[in-house]
Amino acid sequence: MIEKSLKVAVAVPCQLGESPVWDDRQECLHFVDILSADIYSYYPADKSLKITSLDNPVGAIAPCQDGCFLAAMSTGIYRIALPQGDAKFLAQPEPHAPENRYNDGKVDPSGRFWIASMHTDEKEHRGAMYVLYPDLTFKKVLDETTISNGLDWDESQRRFYHVESDKASIRRFTYDSIQVGITDLKTVVTFDEDEGVPDGMTLDNEGMIWVAHFGGGCVTRRHPDTGEILAKIDLPVKQVTSCVFGGKQYNDLYITTAAKGLSDEELTNQPQAGYTFVLENLPYRGMKANKFIQIA
């Protein structure tokens, strides 16, 4: 157990808070509420909050080199200024699947955007994962997925980690940054039913996995080879969706949650469901978010 005090960072009850990203240029946390089609920008220095409202659900955001962000909306991938909200369409890897939306995504160490899709009703094997290149072409790297979630890279170990929530597992691949491929699948962790479901995740600078337990009410730090739990953070809400390190020293852990699907009784018992939390000054550090290479 980590001996630190959990604080509320943003007291807004998101239906499906997700995709937290620390912006080192604006020194703020951006995150999305997928079901409300909103992007939130939280500035810890003065505790202010700005909201960018969009026309379509946005599953993930990721920083670009020029200071803008990529936003994976249900209608495609856009380049967007935050918090102004000016958006420009870039690409649509799935024009053939209007019943899908994009879920989790991040930029790899080489500056390419990896983004996963899923069926809006979570139908099996309808999703895929794509890589968007700086020239706005893309390729499919995984097919017939159901609920793709957290992803991250350990470049020094040539490892790519990916959560399959429907299989309650965290998987590891060998990552080829030149060919932009993933091979040698190994399941690192399979969650027991009482642990909830693995959701969003991030790596710290020691290569350890931090993963949110949706339905399990916690975040755990796990060893990438054994799956052993090295640390645990309990939250006052059950539906924990993702986490990311931020702050000047990258030792503040921000955690998003969701109120989606909770009964009236559950909402009464979990009045902070959907809030975004922070655990400050941890003895662990994260890393800067990779940035999408400047678009010509």
For residue 109, give the nearest of 157, 77, 150, 70 by alpha carbon.
157
Measured CA to CA, the distance from residue 85 to residue 209 in angstroms comes to: 32
Pairing of strands 58-63, 69-73: antiparallel
Catalytic residue among 199, 204, 225, 264: 199
Is 144 annotated to bind a ligand? Reply is no
Measured CA to CA, the distance from residue 229 to residue 218 in angstroms comes to: 12
Quick one: 178 exposed, middle or buried, by C-beta within 10 A (0-12, 13-18, 19+)?
exposed
Is 18 annotated to bind a ligand? Reply is yes
* Tokens linked to 79: 């380049």
Is 193 annotated to bind a ligand? Reply is no
Report CA dihedral (17, 58, 294, 138) to the nearest 10 degrees: 120
Is 121 annotated to bind a ligand? Reply is yes
Is 269 annotated to bind a ligand? Reply is no
Measured CA to CA, the distance from residue 173 to residue 96 in angstroms comes to: 28
Q: In what order do the strands lie in the sheet with 69-73?
A: 58-63, 69-73, 76-80, 87-91
Count of C-beta atoms within a 10 Å radius of residue 81: 15
For residue 102, give the nearest of 72, 132, 70, 129 by alpha carbon.
72
Residue 39 makes CB contacts below 8 A (sequence gap 6+) with: 30, 31, 32, 51, 52, 54, 58, 61, 71, 80, 82, 83, 85
199 belongs to the catalytic site: yes
Instruction: Give the rounded distance of the alpha carbon of 131 from its chain centre.
Output: 16
Is 103 annotated to bind a ligand? Reply is yes
Measured CA to CA, the distance from residue 158 to residue 177 in angstroms comes to: 8
Which segments are annotated as binding site?
18, 101, 103, 121, 149, 199
Which segments are annotated as binding site for a divalent metal cation?
18, 149, 199
Annotated catalytic sites, by residue? 199
